[in-house]
Amino acid sequence: MAPLAGAAVASCMILLLLLVPCAQGQGQPPEAPEEAWAERQPPEASEDALTLLLSEGGCGAFAGLVAAMAGVGDAFREQIGSDLGLTILCPDDEAVWPFIPRFHSLTVDEQVAVLLYHGLTMAYSEELLSQVHWEWEVLTFDGEQTLTIRHYRGRAILSPWPPSSRNEARITKTVVDDDHLAVYLIDAVLIPTELKSVSLFWAVVVPFLLVAVGIAL
């Protein structure tokens, strides 16, 4: 019973850290998080609480990118309060730091696309993910692209469709597993398929064409 009690206390502490109620009107005391959840109305997550939660979970660099990109954090926090909740696939710091120079070379729209690609429009519990026997496609937060989830040697592996060993990540840790929020630490930054195609075009195809034209002239 002691381990179960400890887990329950930890879960409550995470909710109190992450979920902050919104007071309506002046002079009205804010509703306690416990009361909001008891009424089946999850309160809104504050920016600082979400950033702190992700940072303490091992993905502070990714949390910093989310906080710095206008609209992304707001979209995540709004989804947490929805009926389906939110899953964040949070790349660890070792994966994000080498990626930051490339991230800053992207356009703003591409940066937003990369960050939203690490969110799923439902809180996928650890138990639900463990029930994946072959391959499972899930819709990412941008609403247009999908991720493939499969299991290999007891670990969940994530990759764009079609799967590629050059662009995949493994879930290494469960940070939060709650009805309205699931956060998993992953060991790589996932790149949307469409973004990869655009980057490949400008990085490989265009220079090749320029060289070919130069030779022809």
Largest CA distance in the chain: 79
Q: What is the percentage of the chain residues whose pLDDT exceeds 70? A: 64
Please give the span between the terminal C-alpha atoms of the chain, in angstroms, as a whole number.
79
Q: And the tokens for 90? A: 């949070």
For residues 134 and 27, give the distance between their C-alpha atoms in angstroms, rounded to a whole number: 54
- Nearest partner of 106 among 206, 193, 210, 202, judged by Cα: 202
Q: Which amino acid is at 171?
A: I
Q: And the tokens for 158? A: 């994530």
Backbone angles phi, psi at 74, to 5 degrees: -60, -40
- Nearest partner of 157 among 144, 168, 166, 147, judged by Cα: 168
Where does the pLDDT of residue 32 fall: very low under 50, low under 70, confident under 90, or very high at 90 and above? Answer: very low
pLDDT at 166 over 50: yes
Residue 178 forms part of a structural domain? yes
pLDDT at 82 over 50: yes
Range of lowest pLDDT (77-81, 141-145, 205-209): 205-209
Residue 62 forms part of a structural domain? yes
For residues 151 and 132, give the distance between their C-alpha atoms in angstroms, rounded to a whole number: 7
Q: Which amino acid is at 166?
A: R
Residue 160 forms part of a structural domain? yes
Mean pLDDT of 18-30: 40
Specify the higher pLDDT residue, 184 or 27.
Answer: 184
Residue 51 forms part of a structural domain? yes
For residues 122 and 217, give the distance between their C-alpha atoms in angstroms, rounded to a whole number: 55
Residue 199 forms part of a structural domain? no
Mean pLDDT of 43-56: 77
Instruction: Report the domain count for the chain.
Output: 1
Residue 136 forms part of a structural domain? yes
Q: What is the percentage of the chain residues whose pLDDT exceeds 90? A: 43
Residues of the domain holding 74? 47-193
Q: Is 13 exposed, middle or buried (0-12, 13-18, 19+ CB in 10 A)?
A: exposed
Q: What is the CATH number of the domain that holds 100?
A: 2.30.180.10
Range of lowest pLDDT (11-15, 32-36, 74-78, 81-85): 32-36
For residues 142 and 118, give the distance between their C-alpha atoms in angstroms, rounded to a whole number: 9
Residue 69 forms part of a structural domain? yes
Give CA angle at 72 (119, 201), nearest 5°: 75
pLDDT of res. 165: 58
For residues 153 and 157, give the distance between their C-alpha atoms in angstroms, rounded to a whole number: 10
Residue 170 forms part of a structural domain? yes
Per the CB < 8 A criterion, the answer to whether 173 and 184 are in contact is: yes
